[in-house]
Structures are given as C-alpha cells and as structure tokens.
A and B are shown apart, each in its own frame.
Chain A
Amino acid sequence: MSEDVAIVGTGLHPFGRHPGVSGLEMAAIAAREACVDAGVKWEDIEFSAGGSEAAGNADTSVSLLGLTGIPFINVSNGCATGGSALTTAHAMIVAESADLALVVGFDKHPHGAFNLLPEEWGIGSWYGETGLMLTTQFFAMKIQRYMQLYGISDATLAKVASKAFSNGARNEKAWRRQPISAEEVAGSRMISDPLTQFMFCSPGEGAAALVLAKGEKASSMPVDPVYLRSVAFRTRKFGSFEVLSPSIPVEDGVPPTTEAARAAFEEAGIGPEDIDVAQLQDTESGAEIMHMAETGLCADGEQEQLIAEGATEIDGRLPVNTDGGCLANGEPIGASGLRQVVEVVEQLRGRAGDRQVPNDPKVGFTHVYGAPGVSACTVISR
C-alpha cells in the first residue's frame, strides 16, 4: 500500500445555519483548525486547493489566513468539489510539487431545494419552466425503480434516515442533533414519492479542511497520521441513470460511483470487504441504500437485510455515515466531500467520541456523488 500521502490534520466548522458568518470565514476557521491539528502554521503550507458552489472563491480566504503567495487552485465542481480539491492536492504531493498541502471545502446555501437553472446544465429552458429541474425528482425515481427491482421496503428508507439523526445526535458539529424515530420519518410529509421530508437532506452551511503531507514528512511530524491510500474521481459514462437527464439510453450503463469506487479500491490494493467504516453520499435515504451496492460494499438487494439487522449502525459490522451524513449535517455542496474524509480520519484515529466505531477501525472509505453524474471515492487507512 502506498504511503505517499498522509492526512495529518483535520478541521471542521460546525454544519447548520450560521447567520452573520460568511462561507469564506467558515473556510478560514476550518483551515486554521486543520493547521493547528497538524501542528503546522499556515505559512508552512506549500500548496492549497479548495472551493465552494455558492459561497465564493476559495483562494480569497487567504486574505483571512495570510498572504503567503502559495499556489492556490480554486475548484468548482459541484458535489465533487471537495473530492476534486483532494484529488488535486494528492496529485501535487505525489508529483513532489509540495510536501505540505491544505484542502478546504465550504458552502452557504439559502433555504429550500437547490434552485438550478437549466441553461447552466446544457438543457433547454423548457425543462425548468415545466417543473423538471429538480434533483429531488431524480433521487425519488431512482430509488422507486431500485425498490421494485431489489425488494427494498419503505420501512428501510425510514430506518436509514432515523439512523442518520441518531448518529447526528452524537456529533457536536452536526446540524440535526435530535433523534427522529423511523415512524416519525415515515410519517413526515411526502415530498417526492416514495421519499418523505425527513428522508431528504437540506442545503445548508459548513466548512471542512484537511492538511496533507508527503508520507516521509508525516513520519517526522508529531502527529498520528493516517494514509490517503487512493482517491479516484469519475464522470458519467453512456447509459448510467443520472440526475437532470431529459432522456437516457435504453441500455443500462455503469454508474460513475461504481467506476470511482472500483478505481479507488484497485489503486489502494484494498477491497470493499476490508472496510471498517464508510461515509456514503446520502442526499436522501435511498441514495445511501443504492450507493452501498454501487460502491461494492454489498450486493444489490442485500441492504434490506443488512439494515434490518443494524449492520450499518455505529456498532454494526459495516458502519455507514457515522457522523450523521448529509441527512444530519445538511448539504453545503463544497464541504460535504471533505466532511466525509474528516469523519473517517477521526474514526481511524479513535477521536470520534460518542460516535466512535468500536474495535479500533483500521480502514475507511468515502464516496460523494452529484450532478450531472460525478463521483469521487477515497480509501483511507492507518
């Protein structure tokens, strides 16, 4: 396994709603926290990459952190913003262009569903005018078909959301910290059949940052490093069912999640069966269920039984979204992918407090997915 790149510091601005605090200020707070955690100063950082979807250019945060003149690449890649920033920093370190890098993702979205404009996504304006420009519809239609094909029940959808809120209640930086029973989830307002209000995450605010170090350098630092064994980022191929598609082919293709996960596992030399803790894109309950299979962590249809027996809970055999995921943390697009990595690092370092996965987890996995069909996955281990 490659020890080329280590994660030596993490920082997280609490997720939720923070009136009066800008996205860039949250980014700077997370970045400073990551530097303190790594025992380095901002001026020691040799390269940085980061971004947001809706809260400004990441590189302007240097005016809050200090103008040190380092190369700073702004990333704007939708839900894969964090993953793309991490991919970039990882590559810079592997290429020996930097020994110490900082990645940061942040966002600050208004209330309500994401409001996308079709023209920015290569679709005619009729699509939005007639009420089809909604990511919520896609997720509902994807899980609707999946449930029929693989025997997933409405009760399982509710359990996934209830687990997220229960994990969020154990995470002091989560947005939703109130446990909600599966019955309450199932009984909340229907948004897009079969998904109810509490089965969807909400756009929100937050920031996450990581300090990466070249492996050799990490071993001489006074920190407890974990290693970024791989990071893989893929876009959609012909035939996969993706968000915001006026039509799709009649032949089924391989989803970008599957392609990215396979590549990440292959590069790491670690298989899905070795994963002790996983963070998966849970835009809504169904997404977590489908992504479990798309990433290879289980077979299609196996989720019904796994979730019924509690396998994905913190003390289960495959803990998923231990920090409450997007459901309990909300979805600040630029921050989510890095939040997942921060959580895996905390779990592997044994620093996850009330939500610590028992028995000393060694290997973690993260997965983000977003419009218009992008996915980034990482394998991280001690």
Chain B
Amino acid sequence: MVEAAERPIAEGLFVETTEGPRLIGSRCRDCGTVTFPKQNSCAYCAGADSEEHLLAPRGELWTWTVQRFRPKTPPYNGPEEFEPFGVGYVELPGECRVESILTTADPEELRIGMEMELTLIPATGPNGEAARTFAFAPAGPPTERNER
C-alpha cells in the first residue's frame, strides 16, 4: 500500500473513500453519458450540464497490452530503471471503458473478460516527488465490500 501522505498524480482524477479508491468521472445530466476524466460538456449530445460521478470500482478487462520499453521523458516520469507494466481498458458496466495501468505485466495473468478492481499504485509526480496514480488489478472473488 502507498503512504497516505503521497499526493495523487493529478487533482480531480480519483478519491479515496472508506470503501476504497474511486475514479472521478462525469455524467451528462441530459443524456446520461459517462466520461473519464470528468469534463464539463458531453461528447455525445454536446450538452453542457454535467455532474461529477464516481465510477464503479470493478469491471471487466476489455483489452490489454504490456508496455515493454521505457517511454520517453518528458512526458514520462517513471524510474530510470524501467520495469514493464500492463496497460488495458476496463469496461465499467453501463459507464465507460477506462484506460489504465494494470498491476501485472504477465500475459499469462491477463485475459479479456476477466474481473478487474481499482487500486492505487506509486507514481512519480511532475517534480520527481512521490505520488500515486490509479491502476486496475485482477480481482479476487467478490468480497463483502464489493457486493455492497
């Protein structure tokens, strides 16, 4: 787990609730379209009346890959000693498909359709400071918390 003192990599991206982290999206009050990150206008109906909407913390892996070379800096702020990481889109039912780092980079552990769960992982902020960002991890069997 990351230290509570570490700042989110960006404001307005996710919050921590008593039931775990949640991504902050937006929902169009006119047509119900959900987007992440939150935005003021709707890409579907062009409506300009959106409300903040916390996205579901679990969903299904829609697709995935593994980032196997170190991305260029800037903009990448990760460590010089690069470790490959998984990347995927997770479909949150009825909301949207969110692109995310995955907590595993092992193709054997990844398959389309598997259950994934939101978590927070260490990251490096714009000035080299320790921060945290969101990621999805393969979900265990549903727990009492997740069923609620």
Which A residues are closer than 8 A to B by beta carbons? 112-113, 115-118, 124-134, 137, 140-142, 144-145, 148, 189-195, 238, 245-250
Contact = CB atoms under 8 A, between A and B. Distances in A.
B89 A117 contact: no
Contacts of A189: 68
Interface in B74-115: 74-78, 85, 87-89, 91-99, 101, 107, 112
Interface residues of B, number: 46
A144 B99 CA distance: 14
Interface in B11-36: 13, 25, 33, 35-36
Contact of A247 (B35, B75, B78, B112): B35
B65 A193 contact: yes
Contact of A133 (B71, B93, B94): B71
Contacts of B36: 246-247
Contact of A117 (B13, B65, B74, B126): B74
A132 B99 contact: yes
B10 A247 contact: no
A130 B9 contact: yes
Given A124-B10, A129-B77, A248-B96, A134 B133 contact: no
A250 B97 contact: yes
A128 B44 contact: no
Given A117-B74, A124-B10, A145-B112, A130 B101 contact: yes
| B71, B74, B92, B93: residue with the most chain A Cβ atoms closer than 10 Å | B71
Contacts of A129: 9, 75-77, 123-126
B125 A247 contact: no
19 contacts: A124-B37, A126-B133, A129-B75, A129-B77, A130-B77, A130-B133, A131-B76, A131-B78, A133-B76, A134-B67, A141-B88, A144-B64, A144-B65, A192-B67, A247-B96, A247-B97, A248-B99, A250-B96, A250-B97
Contacts of A246: 36-37, 98-99
- In order of increasing CB-CB distance, the 3 nearest A-B pairs are A128-B75, A140-B65, A145-B63
